Amino acid sequence: MRRLLPLLLIGVFSLVGKVSSQEMAVPTQKPVLIELLRIQHEIPGLGYFLLLEDPLDSTLVQNSGFKWTRYDSGWVSGIKEDFTLLGAVDSDTVSSRLNFTILSEPVADSVAVQYISQLVSRGDIDLPLAQDGPQEDLVSYALKSPYAPVYGNRFSFTADLKIFIVTGIILTFFVFSISMFIVMLVVKSRKSKKEALEKEYDQMVVDPLTNLLFEKDLDEIRKMTEADFESFFPKHLLQDLVYREVLIDRIIGLNKKMKGEFKEKLKTLYNRLGLAKVSVGKIKLSQWHIVAEGLVEINEMDLFEYLPEVKNLTNSSNFQVRSLAVSAMLNLSEKSDLSFLRDQTYPLSQWQQMKYLRIIKFVSQQRSLKIEMLFESKNKSIRIFGYKLVRILGRIDLLEMLSSMAPNLEDEEKAELLKTYLELGAHMEVDFVNSCLESKNPRLLMQAVKAAKVLGDESTLEILLGKVAEEREFTTKLQIMRSIHELDKSRFEQFISEYGNSDSDLLRVRDHILDPRLANV
């Protein structure tokens, strides 16, 4: 709206200017123009003179006010700027014998008309568009003239469409401005009121929570009735949205810092005060930020009973909701089932993988997770995440399953699988490494070269020697020769001595590999 209003104003004013300039157009007919100039009296810079033929009327000489000068075939008047003097001259004579001047220089009639138009358009003069009024009594003139309404509309204000539109736009601007100002005042007032309430309620919940946590044991809290709780947390306050939110924030904040029985007390309070239902109610709403709040609260308070509702959100289209739902499932689920992660259709980001990995590393100490379920996912990023988990968690028991799947995997998955084999020292997978060395995919080839350095055998060495003879790119050649050096140093030296003279890059590679300062470069 802010961008539209200035454009609308510019358009309207342009329309007004255009219409105005049309209304103020200067007539090009010379008799009409001369009559308007006579009514105007004077135009700055515009003058005129008359050219008359013999004989010159003596009455004109005496009464016109012109100073006549003789020339070859007639008479010429001096240059005048007062157009009222033309009233003493016959109108036909004026129309045919009058010549215009601008700054005392004779000009054509069209140039004079253009000059007057420029003055009018700039607002330097206001040219009358009608002759002077009647020279008789106005009352008598009015009696002779038929009545005609000045305005076609009932109200004179709406007769001029341009003024009406501009006024309407200005009024609309003021209405919107005032409305926005009022809305800002209302929002600020509500925000200030809410902040004041939060401070007040925060002070009110501190003492009851402290008393319940430190003066009563867990069994006493579980046996408390609703009337007992009402003495600590009044029922009418629990129905207040702001009070509930402050209480939830306080309990969750304490839950992060407490351990053992205190956490159980807080969870019992959370359920008995009906706050758990508030949290699960949030995840059923459509606003994603409120759903995210509910998922955080369920996760922090270990509300296992609401895991089915949380599981429904693990494939949400919203990134934040989906991430929080999976995190809650990994934290709270007592099962080893990872089907909720396997069935995700959205790709995993690096941030999500790091977050899930941190949780899985923690929960895997308490229960064994079925990571192999991730290998069955239709989502490639989930499968790759599964291979990473095998490597990071050291799940050697899953290598046999990976070995059976390896030939049918995509190149990107094979590269990740090679990292896993290299990390876990899977020497039995040398055939897979050798097959990857024949790949045309540069990324897969480089990863296979790195794996061959640790997992390779004699057949791997022969493949690498053949590769280095074909390779032209220095970085790749360096990695291949480094793997050859690790597998068999004598073959490395033999190869350099045979082909070093014909390939200068091999000598540079050897110097690079043997330099201990460049070992990790």
Peptide bond into 55 cis (omega under 30): yes
In angstroms, the Cα distances linking 74 to 51, 87, 91, 356 are: 7, 21, 19, 110
The string of pLDDT tens digits covering residues 212-269 is 888 888 888 888 888 888 888 888 888 888 999 999 999 999 888 888 888 899 999 9
The per-residue pLDDT for 213 is 87
Query: 17 falls in which pLDDT band (50, 70, 90)?
Result: very low
pLDDT classification of 153: cutoffs 50, 70, 90: low
Residue 232 to residues 28, 138, 200, 446, Cα–Cα distance (Å): 95, 93, 16, 67
CA atoms lying within 13 Å on the CB side of residue 521: 9
* Mean pLDDT score of the chain: 83
Q: Which two tokens stand for residue 257?
A: 């810092």
The answer to whether the pTM exceeds 0.85 is no
pLDDT digits (tens, 9 = 90+) for 512-521: 888 888 877 7
* Statement: residue 20 has pLDDT above 80: no
Of 94, 215, 45, 174, nearest in space to 77 by CA: 94
458-501 tens-digit pLDDT: 999 999 988 888 888 888 888 999 999 999 999 988 888 888 77
Cα–Cα distance, 204 to 187 (Å, whole number): 25
99 exposure class (CB count in 10 Å sphere: 0-12, 13-18, 19+): middle
Q: Is the pLDDT of residue 175 over 90?
A: yes
Q: Does pLDDT of 189 surpass 60?
A: yes
Residue 182 has pLDDT above 80, yes or no: yes
Domain residue limits, the chain: 21-144, 429-521
